[in-house]
Chains A and B, each alone.
Chain A
Amino acid sequence: MDIRLMDDAPSDAERAVIAALIDPVEEVGSHLAIGGHSARRHRHLLLPVLSAVQSEIGWVSKGALNEICRRLVIPPAEAYGVASFYALISTTERPSVVAHVCDDIACRLVRSEFPHGDAVVSSPCLGQCDRRPAVLLQRAGVEDVVNAPGDQDPFELVGVADPTVVGDRLLARVGHADPESIGSYADHGGWQALEKARALGPAAVIEEVERSGLKGRGGAAFPTGVKWRAVAAEPAPRYLVCNADESEPGTFKDRVVMEGDPFAVIESMIIAAVATGCAKGYIYVRGEYPLAASRLRHALHETRLAGQLGPEFDIEIIRGQGAYICGEETALFNSIEGLRGEPRQKPPFPAQVGLFGRPTVINNVETLINVPGIVLEGGEAFAAIGTPDSAGTRLFCLSGDINRPGTYEVAMGGALGELVDLAGGFVGETQAILLGGAAGAFVDTEALSMPLTFEDSRSRGVSLGSGVVMAFNSSRDMHDVVRRIARFFRDESCGQCVPCRVGTVRVEEALARSRSAPLEAGLIDEIDRAMKDASICGLGHTAASVVRSAISLGLIS
C-alpha cells in the first residue's frame, strides 16, 4: 500500500514481541512482490499486536509502531490513531509498572486520596465494586494484575478477595467447580447442553431460544432468538461475538462468571454457533480483567484439546485496551477490525452488516450463559421463570452502602427491596440507589417496591441496564458522585459525534459551576435532549440520564 513509514527502528525486544505475533504480510523479492488485497486483510491483527507491545514493553514507541505498520501494511498515522484511542496503551514512555487506581463511584466511597503521577493514574471503574477499592497494575513484561481490595500501597501485591456470589442457576458453579479444570466443569453438569444442542440441530435450538423469551441482558433487551434467527438466515460467512467488555461503572457480574465459570461462556458460544452456523467466534474481554482473560484462555485451550473447538468453529480472545465505548457493539466490531473503537451509524444492524461487514450474532456474557439451561430444560421451562415479559433470572451487581456487596441471581419479578435484603440490607440511611449503571438512573427508596422486570423498570422511566444496584447513604456527597459520572462520560466519549463529544464536556462544566452557584438545570436538560436525540450511539443517548435523575430527585441543586 501507498504508505510512508517513519525512519525509526524498533529495539530488539520490540521486534521480538512483534515478530512472535505477526509475520510480514507481503512477500517481497527482487523482481516480485505479492501484497495488495491479500496484505491489506490483516488489519485485525493491529489491536492484538499493539496490546502485546504494550504488555511486554510497557509502551508503544515510534520504532515499535513503525515495525507493526511495516509488517501489517498499515499507514503509521492510522495505527497511531488506533493506539492513542485506548487508555491502556501509551504512546509515550512511562514507568514499567503503572497503577491504575480506581476513583470511580463505588471506590471513591471508600477512598479519599487519589495520588497522581507518572506511575499512578486514576482509573474509571475497574469492575471490582464487590471488593473495592481496586487497583489495576499494568506491568511491562509481566501479566497485569488487580489488587482488590487495594487500599494500601497501590504497588503492593495483595491479589483479589473471593467474591460474594448468590445464585443457583447461572452462578451455580461459581465457587464450586474448579474454573481451571474442564473435568470439574463436566462433573458439575458442563457440556450436556452442547451435546443436546448438536443432537437437536440448529433450527430446533433457535426455536427453543425463541420459545424461552430470553432477552438480551446488555441493556437493550432485544429477544435473543429473533436475533439468532435473523443471522442464521443471512449468507455465510457469519460471525459470533461474545461481548465481554463489561465496563459500565458498578458492573462486575460478567467478570464473576468469566473468572468463576469460564467453560460455561465457551459452551454457550459453541451452542450459539451451532444454532446460527457461525464460522468463527470472538470473545472481546475488557482489558482491565486480566484474570478473566487468562481463565478464558486456559479454558479455550482445554476445550480445544477436548475436541469441542476446531476448524469448523473456533473462538479467539481479544483483549480490550481501556475504552468503555468498545462495549457498544459496532464500536466493538471496529475495535476487533483494527480500527478506532468508534460506533457505526445504524442501520445497517449487526445481523446484516456486523464484524468484517458480515452478518454477526453479538450477545453479552450473561445473555449467552442462559442458553445451556434453555437447551437442557426447554424454552417453556425457562419462560416459566420470572414474568411473561421478563423470563428467567438476572444477575445483579450490588455495591455501595450495602452490607454484603456481591453478585446476586434472582428470578425476574421480585422487588428491588427483596434483592437488597438478600444482600443484607443497606448500610445507613439510604438517600439514593443507582440503578442500571452510570448510563442508568438514580431512584429513591420508594422504588424498593418496584418489581425487577424490563416492563416495570421501563414504565418508571428507568432501566435495569447492566444490573447495577449501588446504594448511597445520607453521608454521601451526591454532588461529587454525579460529577464523577459526568467526568466518566467525558473521558469515555469516543469523540466522533458533536453532541456527545462536546455535550459531555458542557454537562461536566455545568456541574462544576454548581458547586458555587445555582445548578443550571435547564441548560443540562437542553444538552441532554440533544445528546439523546442526535448522538450516534447509546453512550451519548444516556450520558446525562443519571444527572437528570439526580436533579429530579433533588440529590443535587
Chain B
Amino acid sequence: MRGVRNGARLYTVDPRRSESAKWADIWLGIDVGSDIALANGMARVIIERGLQHRDFIANATTSFDDYAAKVGEYPLDRVEEITGIPSDVIEEMAVSYASAGMAQIVWTLGITEHHNATDNVLALINLALLTGHVGRYGSGLVPLRGQNNVQGGGDMGAIPNKLPGFQDVEDDDLRARAERIWNHTIPPKRGWHLTQMFEAMAAGKLRGLYVIGENPAESEADVVHARQALEGLDFMVVQDIFLTRTAQMADVVLPAAADWCESEGTVTSSERRVQRVRKALEPPGEARPDVDIIGMLARGMGADWGQPTPEDAWNELRLVSPMHAGMSYQRLEELGGIQWPCYDENHPGELFIHGRLWKQPLESPPAPFIAVDWVPPVDRLTNDFPYRMTTGRHLDGFNTGVQSAGYDSPIRTGGTIDISPEDADRLAIHDGDLVKVSSRRGTIEVPARRDLALRSGLVFMSVHYGEDADVNQLTIDTWDPKSGTAEFKATAVQLQKV
C-alpha cells in the first residue's frame, strides 16, 4: 500500500471486487479459471508491440519462439470472450506491465487451486521472463503463502519428491550424500502426494495413515469421498493440537503442543525467511512438542535418537541442506530471521533468488519459456448448474476454522453463501434466508448474504465453517496432476431458496 500511495499503479485481477481490488487503479473482474488466456493475451500484446525484454530473453531464457507461437493464438477478442474483461483494458495492463521500470505479479490461491494450477503459474512466469521482471530489485513473482510454515514444510523435505533443501530424492548423488549423513538408506523413488494418497486409499493400496497437523476430513475437496477413504483405512494416527474431525476418526491420537508458542523451533515465511518460534506457554495436559513425539515413536520402533532438542534437529538439517547451512540459531536470533539460501555463517541470505538470470554470461541453466494453453474449469456451467461458485477465506478466519473459531471476532459473518445483489433480487433472497446450494456432488443448506463484490452469476463461500456450511461437499476433487492441488476455486452450483 505504501507503494500505491507513492504512485505505483495497481491492477487487481480477481473475479470478486475484493477489498484489495477497491484500491486498484483498474480491477479486472476475470471469469473464474481463465487466467491463462489473460496471461497469454497480454504476452501477445507485448510481443506485437515489441515491448519484450530482448536482451534478457536472449541471455537468460530458452524456447521463446515456441512461446511466441503459442500466445499468438490468443488475440484480444478471443481473450475478451474467455475472460469477460474488455480487451482495451487487457491491452493497457499488458503495456503498463511491460513498460514499467519495476513490476511484480503477486498471487495466491486464486491461481493455484485449479486443476491446471501449475500451468496457471507457468503462464505468469512466462510473462515475467518476457519482460525481465524477475530477479531484480522491485520486480518479481510473489506467491503469497497461506500458512505460516507451508514454505518451511517444503524446505524441510515434507514433499514426496524432495530431500530437505529441495534436493531431488531421485538424484543419486544428492541422495547418497544425505544417506551418508544419516547413515541410513533412503527409498530412491518419490512418494505419493496428498491427492494420490487419497486415490490409493480409495483403491485399497494405502492402508495406514499418520496425519500431523492436517484436517483432511474437512479440508479435502469432495469431502464426502475423502471421509469414506479415511474410514476405509486399517489404521490411522493423528497428531494434532486439536481433536479435529480427522482426529475423531483416528485409532490413536497423539496430543501435540502448539508449535508456535508451546515449543521451540523455526518456521519459514513466504519470503523464504527462516525465523525462530519460541515457547511462551506450558502445553496443556499430556501434549508434547512434535519433535519429542517423533523421538518417542522412533524409540518405540527401536531407533534411539536420544532426546534431541529442536536446535539439535535444526543443526542436523543444516548439514543436509546446503541452503540452510549458514543459519545458526544464534544468527537467526541476531538478524531477526534469514532468507534462504544462506550457505555459510558469513552469508547474509538473499533478498531475491533469481538474480542469477541477469549474470552475463549466464553461469547457471537458462529459464525456459513453457508455453501453456487455456482449458476451462472441469466443472462446467450448465442450465442445471448455472452459477460459478468460488471459495476463499475471510479476513478473520483460517482454513477449516479450528484455530480461528477460538476467538470472538466482531467481524465474523459465519458460513454463508454470498450472492450478488442482482441474483439475490431475481431469486428473492434476502440476507439470512436459507438457500439450498447443490453441485454435481452434493447439496447443503446455508444462509445467504448479499455481497456487492460479486457480479451476477458468481457466488462465494468461505472455507471456515465446516460445521454449518460444509462447502467441500460441493467442491470437485479434480486436481492438478503436477501439484496435486484440487480445483476448489471453480464449482458449478444451483441455488434454490428454501
Touching in the complex, A and B, CB below 8 A?
Answer: yes
B-contacting residues of A (Cβ < 8 Å)?
1-3, 28-38
For B454, the closest partner residue in chain A by CB is: A30
B26 within 8 A of A: yes
B86 within 8 A of A: yes
**Given A2-B19, A30-B455, A32-B89, CB of A37 within 8 Å of CB of B25:** yes
The listed residue (A1, A2, A31, A35) touching B29 by CB distance below 8 A is A31
Whether A33 contacts B85 by the Cβ 8 Å rule is no
CB distance from B360 to the nearest CB of A (A): 37
B236 within 8 A of A: no
B456 within 8 A of A: yes
For A28, the closest partner residue in chain B by CB is: B17
Whether B21 contacts A30 by the Cβ 8 Å rule is no
B209 within 8 A of A: no
What CA separation (Å) do A547 and B100 show in the bound complex? 60
The listed residue (A3, A28, A31) touching B28 by CB distance below 8 A is A31
What CA separation (Å) do A33 and B28 show in the bound complex? 7
Interface string of B75-89 (1 = CB under 8 A from A): 000000001111001
**Given A2-B19, A31-B84, CB of A38 within 8 Å of CB of B25:** yes
Whether B86 contacts A31 by the Cβ 8 Å rule is yes
Whether A1 contacts B30 by the Cβ 8 Å rule is no
For B457, the closest partner residue in chain A by CB is: A30
Which residues of chain B are near A31, meaning CB under 8 Å?
28-31, 83-86, 455
B7 within 8 A of A: yes
Whether B17 contacts A33 by the Cβ 8 Å rule is yes
> Other than the known A31-B30, A35-B22, A37-B9, what 11 A-B pairs have Cβ atoms closer than 8 Å?
A2-B22, A3-B22, A30-B84, A32-B26, A32-B86, A34-B27, A35-B24, A35-B26, A36-B10, A37-B4, A37-B25
Whether B23 contacts A2 by the Cβ 8 Å rule is yes
For A26, the closest partner residue in chain B by CB is: B22
CB distance from B273 to the nearest CB of A (A): 26
For A39, the closest partner residue in chain B by CB is: B25
List residues 332-358 of chain B with CB under 8 A from any CB of chain A: none
What CA separation (Å) do A34 and B17 show in the bound complex? 11
CB distance from A121 to the nearest CB of B (A): 38
Which residues of chain B are near A1, meaning CB under 8 Å?
22-23
Whether A30 contacts B9 by the Cβ 8 Å rule is no
What CA separation (Å) do A34 and B24 show in the bound complex? 8
What CA separation (Å) do A35 and B25 show in the bound complex? 5
**Given A30-B455, A31-B29, A31-B30, CB of A36 within 8 Å of CB of B24:** yes
What CA separation (Å) do A275 and B24 show in the bound complex? 40
**12 interchain pairs, CB-CB under 8 A:** A30-B84, A31-B31, A31-B83, A32-B26, A32-B29, A32-B89, A33-B22, A34-B25, A36-B9, A36-B10, A36-B25, A37-B25
CB distance from A497 to the nearest CB of B (A): 25
What CA separation (Å) do A38 and B26 show in the bound complex? 10
CB distance from A24 to the nearest CB of B (A): 13
A-contacting residues of B (Cβ < 8 Å)?
4, 7, 9-10, 17, 19-31, 83-86, 89, 455-456
Which residues of chain B are near A36, meaning CB under 8 Å?
4, 9-10, 23-26
**Which one of A30, A34, A38 has the greatest number of beta carbons of chain B within 10 Å?**
A30
For A36, the closest partner residue in chain B by CB is: B25
Whether A30 contacts B26 by the Cβ 8 Å rule is no
Which residues of chain A are near B26, meaning CB under 8 Å?
32-36
**Given A37-B7, A37-B9, CB of A32 within 8 Å of CB of B23:** no
Which residues of chain A are near B31, meaning CB under 8 Å?
31
**Given A2-B22, A3-B22, A30-B84, CB of A35 within 8 Å of CB of B9:** no
Whether A33 contacts B23 by the Cβ 8 Å rule is no
Which residues of chain B are near A34, meaning CB under 8 Å?
25-27
Question: Is chain A's binding surface mostly helix, strand, loop or mixed?
Answer: loop
**Which one of B9, B25, B84, B456 has the greatest number of beta carbons of chain A within 10 Å?**
B25
CB distance from A67 to the nearest CB of B (A): 15
Q: Which 5 A-B pairs have CB atoms at the shortest separation, nearest pair first? A: A36-B25, A31-B29, A33-B27, A30-B455, A31-B84
What CA separation (Å) do A29 and B7 show in the bound complex? 24
Whether A33 contacts B30 by the Cβ 8 Å rule is no
CB distance from B30 to the nearest CB of A (A): 7
CB distance from A440 to the nearest CB of B (A): 42
Which residues of chain A are near B24, meaning CB under 8 Å?
33, 35-36
Which residues of chain B are near A33, meaning CB under 8 Å?
17, 21-22, 24, 26-27, 29
CB distance from A282 to the nearest CB of B (A): 25
Which residues of chain A are near B84, meaning CB under 8 Å?
30-31
What CA separation (Å) do A37 and B5 show in the bound complex? 8
What CA separation (Å) do A203 and B80 show in the bound complex? 55
For A27, the closest partner residue in chain B by CB is: B26
CB distance from B180 to the nearest CB of A (A): 54
For B458, the closest partner residue in chain A by CB is: A30
CB distance from B409 to the nearest CB of A (A): 15
What CA separation (Å) do A3 and B22 show in the bound complex? 8
What CA separation (Å) do A37 and B20 show in the bound complex? 14
For B8, the closest partner residue in chain A by CB is: A37
Which residues of chain B are near A35, meaning CB under 8 Å?
22, 24-27
What CA separation (Å) do A37 and B1 show in the bound complex? 12
What CA separation (Å) do A2 and B24 show in the bound complex? 10
Whether B456 contacts A30 by the Cβ 8 Å rule is yes
For B455, the closest partner residue in chain A by CB is: A30
Which residues of chain B are near A32, meaning CB under 8 Å?
26-29, 85-86, 89
What CA separation (Å) do A35 and B19 show in the bound complex? 13
Which residues of chain A are near B86, meaning CB under 8 Å?
31-32
CB distance from B388 to the nearest CB of A (A): 13
**Given A36-B9, A36-B10, A37-B7, CB of A30 within 8 Å of CB of B22:** no
Which residues of chain B are near A29, meaning CB under 8 Å?
29
Which residues of chain A are near B17, meaning CB under 8 Å?
28, 33
For B25, the closest partner residue in chain A by CB is: A36
Which residues of chain B are near A30, meaning CB under 8 Å?
29, 84, 455-456
What CA separation (Å) do A31 and B31 show in the bound complex? 8
What CA separation (Å) do A58 and B83 show in the bound complex? 48
What CA separation (Å) do A28 and B86 show in the bound complex? 12
What CA separation (Å) do A428 and B182 show in the bound complex? 108
What CA separation (Å) do A38 and B25 show in the bound complex? 7
CB distance from B110 to the nearest CB of A (A): 15
What CA separation (Å) do A320 and B19 show in the bound complex? 34
CB distance from B13 to the nearest CB of A (A): 10
CB distance from A25 to the nearest CB of B (A): 12
Which residues of chain B are near A28, meaning CB under 8 Å?
17
What CA separation (Å) do A207 and B242 show in the bound complex? 81
CB distance from B7 to the nearest CB of A (A): 7
Which residues of chain B are near A37, meaning CB under 8 Å?
4, 7, 9, 25
What CA separation (Å) do A32 and B28 show in the bound complex? 5
Which residues of chain A are near B27, meaning CB under 8 Å?
32-35
For B19, the closest partner residue in chain A by CB is: A2
CB distance from B373 to the nearest CB of A (A): 22
For A5, the closest partner residue in chain B by CB is: B452
What CA separation (Å) do A3 and B89 show in the bound complex? 24
For B80, the closest partner residue in chain A by CB is: A31
CB distance from A339 to the nearest CB of B (A): 15
CB distance from B347 to the nearest CB of A (A): 39
What CA separation (Å) do A144 and B428 show in the bound complex? 47
What CA separation (Å) do A388 and B10 show in the bound complex? 58
What CA separation (Å) do A1 and B19 show in the bound complex? 7
For A4, the closest partner residue in chain B by CB is: B19
**Which one of A2, A29, A31, A34 has the greatest number of beta carbons of chain B within 10 Å?**
A31
